């Protein structure tokens, strides 16, 4: 009996993935555990293995195609077996033979919004398309929303399949008044032709819009004197210990979350869940967008352990090999733009968390010192908090507790001496 190979669901918020590379052709022998193909999610690249022995009877998805999770990508079975004539339709997750999704208690599901109904456009089957027009779901949706008959669009995808870029190009031609299939005339415009957002940017847009529209927030800012901290950092570097300001901020934040567990909580607007473990997220900027790498049980780690863990996660993220498990489940996030010369900023809360700490640059600043003036390195910390969970008083206590730890390098010296 043939076995279906389905697109896995690698993350709670993932609804579709790009099948980027096939590693097995039709007719190739496959053993359980062999890698069949690679996929690109909104955050990383991962391999998909076979759960069965046999041969690849049929591939239903072309490399580069965007596929809904749980849709059938291929069939595996004994040589000569007949492949069921079934469409690549998702099935319920509990029946899927794909990689099971992680149910993350730290995530808040978005509220359901009824879509605006769009009148479907009747289409005639394309020649040789087995009764169906060869068009991807995203292209079909874009055409329907724009009122474009997809039969007038020339497909450039595998086998002449109409893909999203084909519909976008046809819409651009229609806006200029030219006939379909002809290049758009030159337009005197200050803007380039629009290009679709990358998958990772789409997910960032969705999640940050969800955060901005569902979480009532407020921000508090404190200024930490990190002069002694920077001096200690430079001393440690001379001894071959490469601690960074970010490492110290992460450690101070993790210890403060353990001290004030109400900040390490989540809510759905009706109930509150206090978390017993501190999984600290670190925002990492990539050329393609932003990911949050997660340091598990950060409050139980020493400074050197946090440094090693953070360095490994950042390196994996920039190499595109950060596992999905290391990008999910954070309980609070730290975002540091100080290395980019930013004095202060407010960050947007990652949905499912109670707050995020934004870290600015250490700026030489003239401050009052006794009866005189001294120049000190001042670094601003801005806490953006979910007001449903955190009031101003608690937010102020949290921000000041982090500041107190950053201004006490003697505690760092004691910890490093004992490690």
Length of the chain: 419
What values do phi and psi take at 44, rounded to 5? -160, 175
Q: Which of 170, 196, 143 is nearest to 18 (CA)?
A: 196
Question: What residues are paired with 22 via a beta bridge?
Answer: 37
Residue 218 half-sphere exposure toward CB, CA atoms < 13 A: 12
- pLDDT tens for residues 150-182? 888 888 877 777 888 888 888 877 776 655 445
Q: Which of 146, 161, 150 is nearest to 124 (CA)?
A: 150
Q: How confident is the model at residue 13 (pLDDT cuts 50, 70, 90)?
A: low
Q: How confident is the model at residue 190 (pLDDT cuts 50, 70, 90)?
A: low
Burial class (CB in 10 A: 0-12, 13-18, 19+), 141: middle
> Quick check: 107 and 351 in contact, CB under 8 A?
yes
What values do phi and psi take at 333, rounded to 5? -130, 145
Q: How confident is the model at residue 98 (pLDDT cuts 50, 70, 90)?
A: very low
Residue 304 half-sphere exposure toward CB, CA atoms < 13 A: 11
Q: Provide the mean pLDDT of the chain.
A: 82
* Distances in whole angstroms, Cα of residue 306 to Cα of each of 57, 312, 313: 48, 10, 10
Q: Which of 344, 340, 374 is nearest to 359 (CA)?
A: 344
> Quick check: 267 and 214 in contact, CB under 8 A?
no
Residue 268 half-sphere exposure toward CB, CA atoms < 13 A: 10
Q: Give the distance from CA 127 to its chain's centroid.
A: 40
Q: What is the mean pLDDT of residues 373-402?
A: 97
Q: For 46-55, 80-89, 350-359, 391-400, which range has the lowest pLDDT when averaged over its residues?
A: 80-89
- C-alpha to C-alpha distance for 113 and 120, rounded to whole angstroms: 20
> Quick check: 295 and 280 in contact, CB under 8 A?
yes
User: What's the confidence (pLDDT) of residue 353?
Assistant: 95
- C-alpha to C-alpha distance for 152 and 162, rounded to whole angstroms: 10
- C-alpha to C-alpha distance for 95 and 91, rounded to whole angstroms: 7
Question: What residues are paired with 65 via a beta bridge?
Answer: 19
Burial class (CB in 10 A: 0-12, 13-18, 19+), 112: exposed
pLDDT over 60 at 184, yes or no: no
Q: How confident is the model at residue 222 (pLDDT cuts 50, 70, 90)?
A: very high
pLDDT over 90 at 116, yes or no: no
Q: Which residues are catalytic?
A: 387
Percent of the chain with pLDDT over 70: 82
- C-alpha to C-alpha distance for 347 and 339, rounded to whole angstroms: 16
Q: Token match 């005639």: residue?
A: 124
Q: What is the mean pLDDT of residues 216-238?
A: 94
Percent of the chain with pLDDT over 90: 43
> Quick check: 401 and 256 in contact, CB under 8 A?
yes
| Six token digits for residue 205 | 């847009």
Question: What residues are paired with 286 via a beta bridge?
Answer: 289
Q: What are the structural domains, with CATH classification, of the chain?
A: 3-95 (2.40.50.100), 200-418 (3.30.559.10)
Q: Which of 329, 338, 206 is nearest to 285 (CA)?
A: 338
Question: What residues are paired with 284 via a beta bridge?
Answer: 291
- C-alpha to C-alpha distance for 154 and 147, rounded to whole angstroms: 16
- pLDDT tens for residues 273-322? 999 999 999 999 988 788 899 999 999 999 999 999 999 999 999 888 88
Residue 212 half-sphere exposure toward CB, CA atoms < 13 A: 9
For every residue of 141-188, DSSP letters joined together read HHHHHHT--GGGSPP-SGGG-B-HHHHHHHHHHHHHTPPTTSPPPP--
> Is pLDDT larger for residue 158 or for residue 76?
76
Q: How confident is the model at residue 129 (pLDDT cuts 50, 70, 90)?
A: very low
- C-alpha to C-alpha distance for 412 and 367, rounded to whole angstroms: 25
| Six token digits for residue 78 | 């004994």
- C-alpha to C-alpha distance for 230 and 293, rounded to whole angstroms: 25
Q: Which of 89, 194, 84 is nearest to 137 (CA)?
A: 89
User: What's the confidence (pLDDT) of residue 310?
Assistant: 96
- Report yes or no on whether pTM surpasses 0.75: no
> Quick check: 31 and 76 in contact, CB under 8 A?
no
Q: What is the mean pLDDT of residues 233-246?
A: 91
- C-alpha to C-alpha distance for 263 and 389, rounded to whole angstroms: 7
Strands 265-267 and 272-274: antiparallel
pLDDT over 90 at 103, yes or no: no
């Amino acid at each position: 009996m043939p076995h279906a190979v389905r697109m896995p669901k690698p993350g709670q918020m993932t609804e579709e993935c790009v099948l980027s590379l096939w590693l097995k052709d039709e007719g190739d022998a496959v053993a359980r555990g062999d890698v069949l193909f690679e996929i690109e999610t909104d955050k990383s690249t991962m391999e998909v293995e076979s759960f069965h022995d046999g041969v690849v009877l049929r591939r239903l998805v072309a490399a580069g195609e965007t596929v809904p999770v749980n849709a059938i990508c291929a069939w595996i079975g004994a040589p000569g077996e007949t492949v069921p004539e079934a469409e690549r339709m998702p099935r319920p997750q509990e029946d899927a033979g794909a990689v099971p999704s992680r149910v993350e208690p730290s995530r808040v599901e978005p509220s359901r919004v009824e879509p605006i109904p769009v009148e479907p456009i009747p289409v005639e089957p394309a020649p040789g398309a087995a009764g169906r027009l060869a068009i991807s779901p995203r292209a079909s949706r874009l055409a329907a929303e724009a009122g474009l008959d997809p039969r007038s669009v020339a497909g450039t995808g595998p086998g002449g399949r109409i893909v999203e870029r084909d519909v976008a190009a046809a819409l651009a031609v229609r806006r200029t008044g030219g006939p379909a299939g002809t290049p758009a005339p030159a337009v005197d415009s200050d803007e380039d032709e629009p290009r679709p957002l990358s998958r990772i940017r789409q997910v960032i847009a969705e999640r940050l819009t969800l955060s901005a529209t569902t979480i009532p927030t407020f921000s508090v800012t404190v200024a930490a004197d990190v002069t002694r901290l920077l001096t200690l950092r430079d001393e440690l570097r001379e001894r071959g210990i490469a601690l960074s300001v970010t490492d110290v901020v992460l450690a101070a934040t993790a210890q403060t979350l353990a001290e004030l567990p109400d900040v390490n909580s989540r809510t759905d607007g009706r109930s509150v869940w206090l978390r017993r473990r501190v999984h600290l997220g670190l925002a990492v900027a990539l050329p393609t967008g932003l990911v949050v790498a997660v340091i598990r049980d950060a409050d139980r780690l020493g400074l050197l352990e946090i440094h090693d863990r953070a360095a490994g996660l950042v390196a994996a993220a920039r190499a595109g090999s950060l596992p999905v498990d290391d990008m999910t489940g954070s309980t609070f996030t730290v975002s540091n733009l100080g290395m980019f010369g930013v004095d202060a900023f407010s960050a947007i809360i990652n949905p499912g968390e109670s707050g995020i700490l934004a870290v600015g640059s250490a700026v030489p600043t003239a401050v009052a010192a006794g009866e005189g003036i001294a120049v000190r390195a001042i670094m601003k910390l801005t806490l953006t908090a979910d007001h449903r969970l955190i009031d101003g008083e608690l937010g102020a206590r949290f921000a000041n507790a982090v500041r107190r730890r950053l201004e006490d390098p003697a505690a760092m010296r004691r910890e490093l001496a004992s490690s």
